[in-house]
Structure 1
C-alpha cells in the first residue's frame, strides 16, 4: 500500500489517500506535484483505494507539500516519514 500525503496551509495535520499499486500512487503524486507547479488555484479531488468512499477536495493554493511513501506492516507502530506531528 502506498500513501500520498498532503501538507496544507494553516493545518497542523496532513491529509492522505492510499493507492494499492506503485504506478497508481506515482501517477497521483505527479498529478498533485503538477498542480503545485502551476500555481493557479483550482480544486483537486482525490479518492482513497483503501477506505471505500473516502474522498477529499483541496484547493491547490492551500497545498504546501506532497509526499509519497510505502506503508508496510513492519512500520505499524513506528513514526511515519515526512509530515508527522509529534505530541
Structure 2
C-alpha cells in the first residue's frame, strides 16, 4: 500500500490517500508535482483505494508539498509516516 500525503498552505494537518498499485501512486504523485510546478489553481480530485468512499478535492495552488511512501509491515511506535519527527524537551 502506498500513501500519498499532501501538505496544504497554512494548514498543519496533512491530507492523505492510499493507492494499492505503485504505478497508480506514481501517476498521482506525478500529476500533483506537475500541478505544483505550474502553480495553477485547478481543482485536483483524489480517491482512496483503502477507503473507497473517501474523496479529496483541493485547489492545486493551495498545495505546499507532496510526499509518497510505501506503508510497510513494520509500524513505528509513534504511528507517524517516515520522514517526519518532532523534538521534545523533557525537563
Provide TM-score, normalisation by structure 2. Answer: 0.85
Q: Aligned in 2, Cα 1:20/1:62: closer, same or farther, shift over 3 Å?
A: same
Q: In structure 2, how many angstroms separate the alpha carbons of the residues matched to 1:85 and 1:5? A: 18
> Alpha-carbon deviations, 1:4-55, whole Å to 9, x = none?
0000011111000110011110010001001111111110000000001100
Q: Higher relative contact order at CA 8 Å, sep ≥6: structure 1 or structure 2?
A: 1
Unaligned runs of 5+ in 1: none
Decide whether the 8 Å contact of 1:36 with 1:60 is kept in 2.
Answer: yes
Q: Aligned in 2, Cα 1:39/1:33: closer, same or farther, shift over 3 Å?
A: same
Task: Give the count of matched residue pairs.
Answer: 87
Work out whether 1:4 is the aligned partner of 2:20. no
Could you say what the CA RMSD is over the residues aligned between the two structures, in angstroms?
Answer: 2.0
How far did 1:82 drift?
A: 3.3
Provide TM-score, normalisation by structure 1. Answer: 0.89
- Point out the structure with max Rg over C-alpha: 2
Work out whether 1:72 is the aligned partner of 2:62. no
Decide whether the 8 Å contact of 1:14 with 1:83 is kept in 2.
Answer: no
- Kindly indicate which of the two structures has a greater share of residues assigned to helix: 1
